[in-house]
Homo-oligomer: A and B are copies of this chain.
Amino acid sequence: MFSKACEYGIRATIYIASQSRKERRVGIKEIAAFIDSPAPFTAKILQQLVKNRIIDSVKGPNGGFEIPKDRIFQICITDIVRAIDGNEIFSSCVLGLDNCSEAMPCPVHAEFRSIRAELKSLMDNTCVATLSEDLVKGKSFLKV
């Protein structure tokens, strides 16, 4: 469904959010350890998220990654996925045709139409605040 990079990106963002709620900035090593991902690769992905204004970074001692509190409520899964995997999952044909359209639909187009819309709406409406809340409460996990 998502690329590995995107999976790590979502997990990292949720962890950063959970710590930003407590006014804690976190470094790449801590993030990678907590979400159980390869640190250098994860660093690359976080750079993309910084460029896309999903998360903020601060260099130097006591630096790290953080998300301003208000933005935690604004960032949805869609934003993260778009920043890393692009728009493909939402717009491209399930069977790999060059264009997905009502005019030249593939055989499964109609069948997948509503489920894709639901997926989109789910991802649009699920914000990082909600996701990090369960994590803080110990009701959800980011590794194993």
Residues of chain A touching chain B, judged by Cβ–Cβ distance below 8 Å, are 1-2, 4, 7-8, 10-11, 14, 77, 89, 94-99, 104-109, 111-112, 115, 118-119, 122, 126, 131-132, 134-135, 139-144
Please determine whether A141 and B14 come into contact, CB atoms closer than 8 angstroms: no
Enumerate chain B residues within 8 angstroms of A119, measured Cβ to Cβ: 115
CA gap between A4 and B93 in the complex, in Å: 12
Please determine whether B14 and A107 come into contact, CB atoms closer than 8 angstroms: yes
Shortest CB-to-CB span from A58 to chain B, Å, is 25
Q: What is the copy number of this chain in the assembly?
A: 2
CA gap between A140 and B89 in the complex, in Å: 21
Enumerate chain B residues within 8 angstroms of A126, measured Cβ to Cβ: 108, 111
Please determine whether A98 and B131 come into contact, CB atoms closer than 8 angstroms: no
5 more A-B residue pairs beyond the given contacts A97-B141, A107-B132, with a C-beta to C-beta distance below 8 A: A1-B94, A2-B95, A7-B96, A8-B96, A106-B140
Please determine whether B107 and A143 come into contact, CB atoms closer than 8 angstroms: no
Please determine whether A107 and B131 come into contact, CB atoms closer than 8 angstroms: yes
Partner of A115, one of B104, B115, B144: B115
15 A-B pairs (CB sep. < 8 Å):
A1-B1, A2-B94, A98-B144, A99-B144, A105-B139, A105-B141, A106-B140, A106-B141, A106-B142, A107-B140, A109-B140, A111-B122, A115-B118, A115-B119, A115-B122
